[in-house]
Amino acid sequence: MTPHFMALNAAYQLHFYLCFKTKYLRPMLDTSAAQVLVQSVLQDVCAREQYHLLETDVTPDHLRLLLSLKPVQTVSDTVRMLKGNLDQRFRVDLRDELKRYRSTSLWAKGYFARSAGKVDLEAARNYVDSQVNHHGYQGNWTRALKYRNPEFKSPAFSLPHSVCVLNYHLVLATQSRTALFDERIAPGLFDYIVAIGKKHHFAVDRIGLLPDHMHLTVEAVPNASVEECVRALMNNTRYWMENKYRGVLKETKAWDVWQPSYYAGTVGEYTTAQVKKFLANSV
């Protein structure tokens, strides 16, 4: 199938807590020179790559960051860029520190990454669950519009050397906010969306379906951007609707199914405000 949705507009807030360890937990970031270098490199890389650095905490053997990214950026590429540039500058400017600790590189393998947001994950789940009733739909038939994936378990992905738990709240609206979906379409659509996630490396947690929009909470791998996940959802569900419910699309003239825009927000165990307070108060 030729992808339909290529250029998308997004409203978003994507915050990620990252943690890197020095090799063998040696205190190579203990000196003022090392800490100044780290801050300088972080500022340079973030300005060049258009990352928004929200908070940092440098200890002798750890670097902790809170970053805001764009929907097209991935956590894995961001980590590679940050660790790589820091290691390279450290080798050039502070090579004596590496010799002092008998190390050939600054960082240990891997990293820790966790999403954070305005609200925590449980609040986002409750919000998705409540959308059907919130919009005034009542009765037993509305149960079919809510989905909780019985197979979902977080962390959804196991990665070598790294621990990543990246949760997103997504909202997609139908073309011209046309009423397309109902309780007959919902069960098959939910099953198909779960299959899309398995193919494109994100796990579906919950879905709330309204006639003219859809809310989801998902967890994704670090090398998948949120925009890639959304585009996979839009393109594949459009294909599914055209094959399964062509009559609905013909009647409503909503052949695109979705508007080429979406909302994406990170959520996590802790909110952004809690993570910022933790980093600011670290000793």
Phi-psi region for residue 45, left (φ > 0), alpha (ψ -120 to 50) or beta?
A: alpha
Q: Is residue 99 part of a domain?
A: yes
Average pLDDT over residues 157-165: 95
Condensed to tens digits (0 to 9), the pLDDT of residues 220-257 reads: 999 999 999 999 999 999 999 999 999 999 999 999 99
Residues 91 and 130 grouped into a single domain? no
Q: What range does the domain containing 243 cover?
A: 121-267
- 125, 111: one domain: no
| Residue 218, pLDDT above cutoff 50 | yes
Per-residue confidence (pLDDT) for residue 5, from 0 to 100? 56
80-134 pLDDT per residue, tens? 999 999 999 999 999 999 999 999 999 999 999 999 999 999 999 999 999 999 9
Same domain? For 163 and 211 the reply is: yes
- Evaluate whether residue 280 is within a structural domain: no
Same domain for 26 and 128, yes or no, is no
Domain count, the chain: 2
Residue 4, pLDDT above cutoff 70: no
- String of b and e for 134-153 (b: at least 16 CB within 10 Å)? eeeeeeeeeebbbbebeebe
Residues 57 and 172 in one domain: no
pLDDT digits (tens, 9 = 90+) for 124-136: 999 999 999 999 9
Q: What is the dihedral of CA 158, 52, 127, 135, to 10 degrees?
A: -130
Token pair belonging to 9: 């507009």
* 150 located within any domain: yes
Q: Is residue 166 part of a domain?
A: yes
In sequence order, the β-bridge partners of residue 22 are: 107
Instruction: Identify the residue whose tokens are 């409503």.
Output: 252
Closest to 161 measured CA to CA, from 67, 66, 59, 83:
83
pLDDT category at 282 given cuts 50, 70, 90 is confident
Q: Determine, yes or no, domain membership for 147.
A: yes
pLDDT confidence of residue 2: 44
* Same domain as 262, residue 127: yes
Instruction: Please check whether residue 125 lies inside any domain of the structure.
Output: yes
34-to-29, 44, 61, 81 alpha-carbon distances in Å: 5, 15, 11, 18
Report yes or no on 211 lying in a domain. Answer: yes
> Do 22 and 47 belong together in one domain?
yes
**pLDDT tens track for 11-69:** 999 999 999 999 999 999 999 999 999 999 999 999 999 999 999 999 999 999 999 99
Cα separation values, 23 from 62, 107, 239, 250, Å: 10, 5, 48, 60
Last residue of a domain, one of 115, 139, 156: 115
The residue out of 115, 141, 157 marking a domain boundary is 115
User: Could you tell me if residue 272 is inside a domain?
Assistant: no
CATH (domain of 17): 3.30.70.1290
